[in-house]
Structure 1
Amino acid sequence: MEKLDDVDKQLLRLLQQDAKLTTKELASQLGLTLSPVYERIKRLEGLGFIKQYVAVLDKSLLGQPITTFCQVSMRYHDKAFIDKFEEEVQKLEEVQECYHMAGQVDFLLKIHVGSLNEYHDFVKYKLSQIENIGVLNSTFVLKEIKHNLGYFIP
């Protein structure tokens, strides 16, 4: 993996804060000219440090104020069942994030819905229809204390 210099790190910090900054604005903040900043961005994209640019939306304004973390434990743990679960969960639009875990729980899902009734229907008609699920344990977010989309860059 290529090592990042201090300018690369500052550039990544700036883009994490506001990906709409123009190359001119970035150059000004970094004390560089346009061309080196443009080349650095292209290099960082090519190396995979920058995976994509997205707009962060307000879940409440979208009618999805309920955030749930759902722990899923499988009955059987062979490769075919794990692969099938991973394939099926990709199709569930309510699932924002899914992690394969080590420990007592097999998968952790982060889910956004509009109401508890919507979550009930999601579990009943979608999630529980995936073969081999043994136990579902849901936890509901009461208040979001910290939500940082960016990564710490030392």
Structure 2
Amino acid sequence: MTTTALDRIDIKILNELQQNASLTNVELASRVNLSPSPCLARVRTLEKLGVIDRRIAVLDPAVLGIGVTAFIQVKLERQAQPSLESFTRSIDRLSEVMECYLMTGDSDYLLRVMVSDIDALEDLIVNKLSRITGVSSIRSNLALKRISHKTVLPIDANRPVQVKSCSSASRRLDRPAKQRFDASSQAQIDGGMNLETSRIFDHGTARL
């Protein structure tokens, strides 16, 4: 693994693409004061280094009817490596999970999920998350309103950045096929604002 220094022009390119990834090479070159050919070479180098992971479209969830955001704390029965890996694979199958973090503190994982409504959130918790092997408790809180949301990383063009290059293939995870879940349990909704589900597993039998 090698280390490469990004200069001010590289960082300007990254900041422009973070704001608008649909810029043509000619438009990008003009914004960073380069001619098109060296600008394209720099972009390709940034892609090869893995600094530019991929280019995506950011959609408006409200327009698409995805109106509920919740933060869910998950605790596992044990923190052995096989349990952690199994949970990670299961979470990766759930399209509703936008982000998943391994945490310190009382919970093992913190999830940010987005769904269409409360019923969809209940279905996600009761029929999907709680059925993942090894899950011992689930606590969730609804977000009332999004105050700030950013996708642009804070890169300072006045400070050189050192990056460690690695192949894009080594950074990608194989995503398993989506798993089907069946419904059987009920979740408890408190006042329509806070939802908490705790599950205790006893010899393979779940009890709310």
For 1:38, the aligned partner's letter is: L
- For 1:27 and 1:82, the matched residues in 2 are separated by 45
Q: 2:45 aligns to what?
A: 43
- For 1:87 and 1:32, the matched residues in 2 are separated by 44
Q: 1:55 aligns to what?
A: 57
- For 1:88 and 1:149, the matched residues in 2 are separated by 25
How does 1:5-16 map onto structure 2 within 5 Å? Answer: 5-16=7-18
- For 1:153 and 1:79, the matched residues in 2 are separated by 34
Q: 1:123 aligns to what?
A: 125
1:78-116 Cα deviation digits (max 9, x unpaired): 111111111111111111111111222111111110111
Bigger helix share: 1
Percent of residue pairs identical: 37
- For 1:43 and 1:103, the matched residues in 2 are separated by 40
Give the CA deviation at 1:131.
Answer: 1.2
User: What is the RMSD of the two structures over their aligned residues, measured on CA atoms?
Assistant: 0.9
- For 2:61 and 2:44, the matched residues in 1 are separated by 31
Q: 2:88 aligns to what?
A: 86
User: Aligned to 1:69, which of 64, 68, 71?
Assistant: 71
* SS of match in other structure, 1:51: coil
For 2:139, the aligned partner's letter is: N
For 2:41, the aligned partner's letter is: E
Give the CA deviation at 1:31.
Answer: 1.3
* SS of match in other structure, 1:2: strand
- Worse-matched range after superposition: 9-18 or 115-124: 115-124
Give the CA deviation at 1:139.
Answer: 1.3
Q: 2:164 aligns to what?
A: none
Q: 1:140 aligns to what?
A: 142
- For 1:41 and 1:8, the matched residues in 2 are separated by 8
The structure with the largest alpha-carbon Rg is 2
TM-score, normalised by the number of residues in structure 1: 0.97
1:19-57 Cα deviation digits (max 9, x unpaired): 001111111111110001000000000001000000000
- Please list every run of at least 4 consecutive aligned residues from structure 1 whose deviation after the TM superposition is greater than 2 angstroms: none
- For 1:92 and 1:30, the matched residues in 2 are separated by 39
* SS of match in other structure, 1:67: strand
Runs of at least 5 residues in structure 2 that lack an aligned partner in the other structure? 157-208
* SS of match in other structure, 1:53: coil
- For 1:43 and 1:87, the matched residues in 2 are separated by 31
Give the CA deviation at 1:117.
Answer: 1.1
For 1:33, the aligned partner's letter is: S
Q: 2:23 aligns to what?
A: 21
Bigger strand share: 2
Give the CA deviation at 1:12.
Answer: 0.3
- For 1:82 and 1:30, the matched residues in 2 are separated by 44
